[in-house]
Structure 1
Amino acid sequence: MYYRPAARLAGAQIVAVSDPDPTIAARAGRELEAKAFADHRELIGEIRPDFVFAFGRHCDMPKIAATLIDQGIPFLLEKPGGLTSQEVAVIRDRAAAKALYAGTGFNFRVSDLYKKIRTVIGDDPVTHASFRYIAGGPYRYREANCAWMLDPKLSGGGSTINLSIHFMDMFRTFAGCRPHEVTSLMGNSTWNLPVEDYSSVVLRAPNSICTIETGYTYPAKLGVFDMRFSIRTSRYYLIARSDDCLEVHRTCDAHVETFSTPVSNAFWYPVFVTESIDRFAKGQPPVADLNALVDAMEVVDAAYASSRTGGAKVILADPH
């Protein structure tokens, strides 16, 4: 999702790639005419890149980030950045202590959908929101040689940490405040795997409520999702649908405007990569910083804690 569009970006040269699987690393290196490594530490030590897109098994991300921070290499760390918010907070704090440029992969933020919603909402308070994003089955991870995504010891969990995290970030940015209560129920009844294949999370902020529904249960080809996002403010009711349509309903007179725009974030990875590199080159802040990732991961942690106790309410501590 990252290196192909980055390779087409004018003015950017991919100098090296790494993957623990030497076959995958070699194939990517041939395609991009870049040097291939099986160990990211060797890549960093030998190449000293100007900027790194860092991703891998979720359990390995803290080690990868630690190496980049130790070597002073600016980076963008794919979400979730680790298995827990505590791990990600360590990364954030260490990068901040060195004043090191560091961002994360909340690519919905560059989408036309996100920007249009932000424009419509403006300073109009969000009273409630709901996000449904049901992806295909876990076979897609096996087919992509990412079966580790189905092992919670390596991935941290299923659709909650992988998909719901995007909407935890979106709700915070749209509502303009941090949720303080989280309740959740999760299940794995469809595939009977160790990770959840369905997740329902409810967030409560001071004046707003959000529901987030994600899963790995939609019987569709790769890149096709069951999606519906709804957001209510005092002046508008917005609906984004799977058919790449955004409806903006005006509450004062029921007038409806319809906009055509991709709703899935999968479409926006090339744009995200391009904008991320451009922002770094211009000295601008990343699309999303590590504070945003820690915030979202704290909600993820609370959601898992709630589900483990049968949906009990979890109170989020005030940020320090």
Structure 2
Amino acid sequence: MGNTLPVVSVIVPVYKVERQLDRCVTSIVNQSYRNLEIILVDDGSPDQCPRKCDEWADRDDRITVIHQRNGGLSAARNAGLEIISGDYVAFVDSDDYVEPDYIRLMFEAMQANDAEVAICSIHQEDDQATASADNRAIVDQVATLSGRSCLARLGGDTVADYVTAWNKLYAARLWKTVRFPAGKLHEDEYTTYRILAECDTVALVPELLYHYVQNAGSIMHTTYSVRNLDRIEAWIQRLRFYRQRGYTELYALTFDLIRWDLPHAVKGLDWNVPIVHRRLGEIFAGLRPFSPSVASHLGGPKPVFIYLMLCVCPFRFSRIWYSR
């Protein structure tokens, strides 16, 4: 493939991954789709990553390096988005890696189906390269969905495939007004739904092209902290977004996520600690005012009751209801 094809910008946030970085970047520079702009964002990494990034830039003229003060994953991705020149954009986390046809197969699926986003299947593994028993293709062959139909999959067993920023190729224009939330955990929960909502067509690719490496010390394996409340905030913002759009069929799915996580927040945190109490107050405020329209689409009297109580007296209700 020559340079007549569109440029694809690949953004790689880099922080404390000196052991994994070469594997990640090697998998990107060796893509069968060659017309790439590779942006390595050194997010103030305190190890050898800054030097490694510069060495990679010296070896491959498609690589640009940004060095910045540590601001977190969102800040690193946003820094990359500010300088992309490609018509398409993809994200690869630096402790992960991708198959040689990662970009090519998603690009071809987008072209063949006039899609704005492509999503590939995920190969999950641990840091010893042991594959997860849950690995599976999201489709048997290339297929399409509307963006709105994809939103209906942002829950349950399919959530990882559809909510993550990586394992996707995007038309770059979708990111003109969307950025990741600075300083938040679960940053993809805040953003992906806003991208998918703008898509007429999303292409689904069966091949397991993205290697998601779950490290023992990752966010997924830590105890519940006040920062985990970010995902509840993200879901409340998503519910408000759907209400503005009139996506009534998505209200119950989104509220179920909130209902699922509140018991973890009650049992995992001391709600009397000022920082926890203040954060919860900010989050619960996003549910108000109570909306009869939302309530009428929550799927039954129990979720309607919970929604009402969370709007009226969230602290007292949650402590009683979820401590049982």
Larger Rg: 2
TM-score when scaled to structure 1?
0.31
Q: Which has the higher contact order (CA 8 A, sep 6+)?
A: 1
Give the helix-richer structure, 1 or 2. Answer: 2
